[in-house]
A and B are shown apart, each in its own frame.
Chain A
């Protein structure tokens, strides 16, 4: 543990910046806030890279990569045995995530200096970015389930605050609210899962939970409820939490709307880091998923596969470039989930786990690049819609080049990053189930198609006449694009299997040539189709969508999932439960209370005449009473 003490600053520094900039956001000069935020995140970048260098640099120790806990404190005690700790856990995946978060976050911080220039609330923006960075670091470094939940909610609220950054727009406010409530609903499952798991295992601690032969785990697995073991239930519930954050079907509806936030925010939170938290969560608890029965992992695999296909189809039809990218993100995260779901515990079997983390890593680079590139395009033409774009390669050469790199990377064309990670995912899927493999291959083709549809329609296609000639972004914006483009091109060559595997042992990565050739061929086919359809303006796309009729409309309207949700919340929750409750409370419960009051008042009004002050009346009453008692005594009590 010695030598890793500085990692605490990776977490604390953004928090301090959040407090300082957040409380002073109205007084501080915007540019100062921007540089405080950017400077601090660059320091955490340096520290994260140093941490990765220290951790991985010396090669794997005997017996595989170790789990290090350089920092640990008791945060809350529930009872004599259960405690919540806050700490820092370093292992291959958390160190890998540190690199991902710090790189993307730094790029986004720098980019935003240009992109957000002149916006009202610039300081507030940087305060929220710092809050997010703090929460995300805390999440990946968590040592236990409660710590991860703690930061899980905090990334949720940072996301809420940043989606709603333009808070005077109704759409942004609604999107922010939706994102928070949908993920909150998923977190309800997560919470119950944590409670179940901790009750049966007696711990929240990852190190204990994931140790393969913990007697505690066997204890949890032996109790069954409705045909499945409690462990399976708990893991499925926890996965629901992860599915909410990672926008898996059917909890995905918030992600496309979340594009209402500023574009750099979408790059950071809704493409590279927060949305993969669900994948990270499953990876974190992976030994539990393996040692439980196969059901939980199957749920993960099929949810991932379905989402990746579902989202890819919708992505083909969208017109808003950020929404295309949002559905693409969903689809790629589905890929990662699929890879985790087909993985085994180690050796060759464990390829899926490695592939998933690898894809998470490469995807973060090229998807952040895509969003930042899209931001540069939006910055130039002041619109999100592809209809208003075309021929931009002449005006935005740097953006065009980096965007092309990112498209090639996501489409899986060698030697760009996506090719290597996608190849591993396909190999792992083929090993497990041909249907999953087929789905993944189809999605690979669709990905190439919709990405290059986007590419050709923005940068080629019809040459639009622009009111203001679009101009290339300032250096603060294109420098991050170049850095990310370089990373997207190169990170595929990292021998990921050496560092990340479920059994913690280094494995040599090798390409599966037959799969690589097949997948590349499918992707090239997708690209060529897109080129044929969109490179020059033509009527073909319209004819195709017209020919598909209802199917196209359904995909364009996102298969009406939003409408279904709206129906459920409006009619069932609001009209069906809330309104009756409110009415019941005011009229029945409170009515009963008022009724008691009314009866009391009424009775007292009726009988107050008895106390009239007329002596004759009292005497009469007295006499009648005596007579009654006499009768009672004579006729009743005699027996």
Chain B
């Protein structure tokens, strides 16, 4: 059996188990077991992948297989992974498992919560292992729908509004995407001269340039909405919470795998428009974050800045920057998941997310605060943590474009490292350091075992990638050969 199918079967069985489970204890155990298994399966996939490569298998996609779905239109479920998707699958498995652990004490409809979370996870896993546009789109939508429920039911603040806004904006993005994908399908020609959804086949045959010019912007914007592309990012401050962070990686990956890979000429021609938008996002998100007082909003704007950097890097159209973009997706995925997990833990204890209403938490919540500091330092790109490796690769890659236009936007994006330091250290200084602000905060419950495990599950890879990035970056770079070929290098 294809090892990749395992990654769909485990979540499916977990979901089945969840439907049968009852009470508070059963669902969370089922979810943890299922996602623990998925975590192991992801590592198994990693080692199988590395073994194949070590044995000299240089195919673009490994573990490929195809299952017919609707033959008259040549629709099938095509599976396959390369270094990029393996890395992202690993990331997703970590983030989802941590998500389950952190929600261990979920009081409110626990069964339904875990069902939504794991459905979302299934969508993300499916998206990363598919190499045909049809299934990708399907799994993409599968991931978006549970977000509505997660935010609308378990969110906070004006949650119905936030959920509706997020869903409508993402659906609008999907509409663009659907048109783009259908366009790709109708102008593709497979091996037997039939239309095809398989991206490797589309890439091999190519799409006429004039059609690329139409469908590239549609696809890029479609995925870009999820990747918080300015000005379609406003769902993010309202909607971001712990659950959907893994999803924002879909946007960057989609732009990379579909928009650039399949339409390289249009990408080269039109990248300037999006470089302006994303470069602007980077600095705009960072400045937006300075002025926020709510932790959730600070991190959402920070996400706008970091996701902007992912898309910015992708548009630099060279190997170094692509590598940086993927690393940034991974780093940002881990970091944001950690941030929102910690914010959740603090909110549960202090019942506030307003930075100025807290102070001196380092003394009463040492573990949570230390993790928050680590997340913050990763976010401001401190060497030794994952953010630095990613940003470094992006900046070096961006600098490989020697014209003034690229230089200008690159230097502007680099300047965000200063602004990021400002808003991160403001929060750390106000909320964690200083004297204890609220007397009632003196006796907050320390982090429990599941919170610690969940947080460490995220902290360890952040530090691991930051200290020893070579294996990961080499794995990703090896798989950039096809896209570089497409771009004519």
Contact = CB atoms under 8 A, between A and B. Distances in A.
B389 interface: yes
A146 B473 contact: no
A184 B397 contact: no
Given A151-B383, A154-B382, A168-B363, A78 B393 contact: yes
Interface string B379-411: 010111000110011011101101000000011
Contacts, number: 132
Nearest to A597: B168
A185 B414 CA distance: 11
A184 B169 contact: no
A593 B434 contact: no
A590 interface: yes
Nearest to B323: A78
Nearest to A575: B291
B319 interface: yes
Nearest to B230: A589
Contacts of A154: 382-384
Given A154-B382, A593-B234, A184 B417 contact: yes
A60 interface: no
B395 A191 contact: yes
Interface stretch (B11-19, B138-146, B425-433): B425-433
Contacts of A177: 425-426, 429
Interface in A559-602: 573-574, 577-579, 581-582, 585, 589-590, 592-593, 597
* A interface, over-half SS: helix
A624 interface: no
B355 to A, nearest CB: 13
B421 A180 contact: yes
A75 B383 CA distance: 12
B425 A195 contact: no
A181 B399 contact: no
A176 B426 CA distance: 11
A590 B366 CA distance: 37
B231 A581 contact: no
Interface in A100-124: none
A157 interface: yes
Contacts of A195: 395-396, 399, 410, 414
B363 A574 contact: no
A375 to B, nearest CB: 23
Interface residues of A, number: 51
Interface string B223-257: 00000001101100100000000000000000000
A577 B477 CA distance: 38
A16 to B, nearest CB: 13
Contacts of A174: 429
A406 to B, nearest CB: 33
Given A75-B470, A78-B397, A585-B234, A173 B421 contact: no
Nearest to A160: B425
A79 B320 contact: yes
Contacts of B163: none
B434 A77 contact: no
B434 A173 contact: yes
A82 B320 CA distance: 9
Contacts of B414: 188, 191-192, 195
B290 to A, nearest CB: 4
B466 to A, nearest CB: 10
A151 B388 CA distance: 12
Contacts of A150: 383-384, 388
A173 B473 contact: no
B165 interface: yes
A26 interface: yes
Contacts of A185: 418
A153 B383 contact: yes
A617 to B, nearest CB: 31
A593 B233 CA distance: 10
A79 B469 CA distance: 14
Interface string B268-296: 00000000000000001001101110000
A168 B364 CA distance: 12
Interface string B430-450: 001111100000000000000
B474 A199 contact: no
A162 to B, nearest CB: 13
Given A181-B422, A592-B231, A76 B434 contact: no
A579 B318 CA distance: 36
A453 B184 CA distance: 80
B360 interface: yes
Nearest to A204: B396
A607 interface: no
Interface in B167-184: 168-169
B377 interface: yes
Contacts of B435: 168-170
Contacts of B230: 589
Interface string B318-357: 1110010000000000000000000000000000000000
Contacts of A620: none
Tell which of A84, A154, A573, A582 has the most Cβ of chain B within 10 Å. A582
Given A151-B383, A177-B425, A585-B237, 15 more contacts: A76-B470, A146-B392, A149-B383, A150-B388, A167-B362, A168-B363, A168-B434, A181-B418, A181-B421, A181-B422, A181-B425, A188-B414, A191-B417, A195-B396, A578-B288
12 contacts: A75-B470, A76-B470, A77-B473, A79-B318, A164-B429, A168-B433, A170-B434, A177-B426, A195-B410, A199-B399, A574-B290, A582-B292
